[in-house]
Amino acid sequence: MASTAIVGNTLSGHARQYAGEVYEENHNTIYTLSTRDILSGKRSQSSKERCRHELVLTNPSEDRGRIITAKGTPAKGTCKWIEEVQQFKDWLKGEIQFLWIFGGPGKGKTFLSIHIVKHLVLMKRRLNLNTKAEPLVLEYYCDNSDSQRNTALCVLRGLLYQLLDADDNLYDLILPDFDALDQGRQGLFSEIHIEKLWRIFLTMLKRVERQAYLVLDGLDECDDKSIRFIRTKLQELHEVSETEAGNISTILISRRTLDEDIRVAGQIDLDKACIEEREDDIKLFISDSIEQLHLDPEHQLRLEDIFQARAEGTYLWVALALSVLKTRDNLQRILESDYVIDELLPTGLDKIYSRILLAIPEGERELSAKIIKCLSVAYRSLSEVEITAMTGADHFQVQMQIKDRTNLLTHPTNGRIQLIHLSLKEYLQQAPSIWTLVFTPRMKGSLLQLISFVLDKRLLCGLLDFFLLSVSLIFSIVLLRRSPVSYMPSLFFTGVAMTLLSIGKSSIAFNVLLGYRRRLIISCFTFRKQEEHQKLLATSLGLMKAHFHDENRHIPKPGTLAAEIKDADLNKYIPTAVQYGCQFWTRHFLDSSSELLHHGVIHSFLKDEFLCWLEAMGLMKLVGEAIKSISSLASYTFVSSVGPFDGDV
């Protein structure tokens, strides 16, 4: 029968207490469990099982399936053109080992990555060789909105997982380091050991006695530090001799913003190369998409021509334009008016984003803006419950907004919500106009109401035209140093004539006010990253503090390990919004302004809630991340107050 002895220091405070070391004997094998192990729920498992369990974040092949589920299956026949591109052929032959394919946002790069992976898998099957000789296909899909897929560490862990999954014998290359670091404060699969993980990855590649293909999609969606790490390592890998590099060929697919001077053997610019082939792809996609509207042949052809002319080769524009049209009745009448088409379907991603935001009803604008800003700076996609807590809004209203904003928000298979595309976040981060920056949200609302009132009264616009024209003419006369009195009669009748003309056709004041109104509305959605991070930080701290001091909160029985708590039951002990705050509050702090630091909010939280937070991280099996979080704050003086606790973890 297993016996347990407890020795060492204990954490004290009003949080749950955990022993410093536990020695567990089971089946004649003794395992040493540290406090970190207890908090993370570690049991007696083989090193291989524990290594695999701690390594995996997501399965890239399953990520590929989720992408297809969320975005839809590509039109049949699309992306096949890549198979005829000479640089790609050379890459397949091994004449080029490092190929970079890049293009603008919404150009279908992820679907191209998926097509290449499928092509490699089919090619592997056609070879009909024995298991050891057939090529090894490694794939990875970065996602800016998923904290488990947007860092260099995540990428490296995903690649190692695939190598170990393909060849069980490779475990002997990683287990010595895994076991050596297993009892430490930070295990092997933490940021501090990323260089060691890269060396292990290279060693595994050399051990694999077959050709390996790596397809890495969307590296530009990672943070800057991760981009530099992966880019540098891949360049170094393919600049050394073939013997040192191993039999690996890499395709990197991203936006051009990744880096202008990345050193690769071959490049394919999706914005310039293969234009005709890509136009054929977009035509297939447009035709396949418009069929969903069930138009008669004549109007379908007209709409296809409109989409083709305005999409600029961007699949995302087509999807957004389709979402706009799906909300409209009488599509055939709309297609007969060039003016309406220009208003509904402007050319370019930024303009159609603007069009969609402008269409949000005034009464829903404030909450929609809160949700979009929240999702823009969150480190992962969020559930409806989490969005409700972080925006402080009514749950039903949040549900309705999410339902109505399907052209801006997407619902992955995990039930969480995220922005439809990284380009939307970047569009909203653009610097707002100086003419909108000076107004508070409440002032913007009042000004918008006033402008809307004036726009509804064409006579008022006409009077404004008269005033503007009169002032401009008087000013011109004064500048010319002439007597304004002699020009007053002609000035008056000219103003009257221009006013009547503007009422009948086009008003200068109307167009000016309309343009300014649009800029004001868009400015309701634009944001500054630091300010939004600070808002989420303050909200997260408030939610955690309220939960920790809730006398009615559920607490696990003494001695319960995190491993014994099912994922479905975790929410009973820690609400999902509090879980998010526990995991990411330090990152929001580091990315925000220092206002909360100056007010002592962070110091107060760590002083009063540190042990409760640590307990929550233990139940979430994130003690390693807790240690990393405290380490990331080491340069701030308030961390000295939690030094003793940090040393016990």
| Contact of 200 with 177, CB cutoff 8 Å | yes
Mean pLDDT estimate for the chain = 80
Question: What's the pLDDT score for residue 252?
Answer: 94
pLDDT at residue 77, as a whole number: 83
Alpha-carbon distance of 447 to 449, in angstroms, equals: 5
Looking at residue 374, its amino acid is: C
Report the pLDDT value the prediction gives residue 318, as an integer from 0 to 100.
93
Q: Which of 91-105, 200-214, 309-323, 484-498 has the lowest mean pLDDT?
A: 484-498
- State mean pLDDT over 83-92: 92
436: region left, alpha or beta (phi > 0 left; psi from -120 to 50 alpha): alpha
Percent of the chain past pLDDT 70, that is, above it, reads: 72
Average pLDDT score over residue span 102-108: 89
pLDDT value at residue 644: 45
176-180, 552-556, 570-574, 633-637: which range is least confident on average? 633-637
Confidence of residue 362 (pLDDT cuts 50, 70, 90): confident
Q: Return d(Cα 205, Cα 158) in angstroms, integer.
A: 14
- In one letter, which amino acid is 225? K
Tell me how far apart the terminal alpha carbons of the chain are, to the nearest angstrom.
29
Residue 567, classified by CB atoms within 10 Å of its CB into exposed (0-12), middle (13-18) or buried (19+), is exposed
Q: Is a pLDDT exceeding 60 seen at residue 67? A: yes
pLDDT bin (cut points 50, 70, 90) of residue 645 is: very low
Q: Is the pLDDT of residue 44 over 50?
A: no
What percent of the chain has a predicted confidence (pLDDT) above 90?
39
Query: Hey, which CATH number is domain 60-273, 3.40.50.2300, 3.40.50.300, 1.10.3720.10, 3.40.228.10?
Result: 3.40.50.300
Q: What is the pLDDT of residues 485-511, one digit of tens each?
A: 555 555 555 555 555 555 545 566 566
Query: Tokens for 366?
Result: 């404030």
Structure-token pair, residue 142: 């970065």
Rounded CA separation 649/646 (Å):
6
- pLDDT score of 367 more than 70: yes
What pLDDT does residue 433 have? Answer: 55
What local confidence, expressed as pLDDT, does residue 488 receive?
55
Give residue for tokens 């880019």. Answer: 231
In the structure encoding, which two tokens stand for residue 139, read together?
Answer: 């794939």
pLDDT at 465 over 80: no
- pLDDT tier for residue 3 given thresholds of 50, 70 and 90: very low
Stretch 302-320: mean pLDDT, rounded? 92
> Considering only 117-126, 241-250, 514-523, which range has the smallest mean pLDDT?
241-250
* Predicted pLDDT at 551: 85
Is pLDDT of 243 > 60?
A: no
Average pLDDT, integer, range 116-139: 77
- Would you tell me the crossing angle of helices 275-290 and 297-310 to the nearest 10 degrees? 140
pLDDT digits (tens, 9 = 90+) for 328-348: 888 888 888 888 888 899 998
Q: Where are the domains of the chain?
A: 4-47, 60-273, 276-346, 360-428, 441-523, 529-648
pLDDT of residue 504: 46
Helix H or strand E segment including 83 = none
- Mean pLDDT, to the nearest integer, of 395-401? 95
pLDDT in tens, 166-223: 999 999 999 999 988 866 556 889 888 999 999 999 999 989 888 899 999 999 999 8
pLDDT for 512:
66
Q: In this predicted structure, what is the pLDDT of residue 453?
A: 63
| Confidence (pLDDT) at 564 | 78
Question: Residue 26 pLDDT > 50, yes or no?
Answer: no
Q: What is the structure's pLDDT at 546? A: 95
* Confidence band of 556 (pLDDT split at 50, 70, 90): confident
Q: Judge residue 37's burial from the number of C-beta atoms within 10 Å of its C-beta, 0-12 exposed, 13-18 middle, 19 or more buried.
A: buried
Please report the pLDDT score of residue 245 as a whole number: 55
pLDDT, position 462: 60
Q: Vertex 221, ends 401 and 428: CA angle to 5°? A: 45
Nearest to 309 by CA among 356, 358, 340, 342: 342
Cβ contacts of 120 within 8 Å, gap of 6 or more: 135, 137, 213, 215
* pLDDT value of position 43: 41
CATH of 360-428, one of 3.40.50.1370, 3.40.80.10, 1.10.10.10, 2.60.120.260: 1.10.10.10
Contacts of residue 380, defined as CB under 8 A and 6 or more positions apart, other chains included, come to 145, 146, 147, 148, 416, 580, 584
- Is the model's pLDDT at 73 over the cut of 90? no
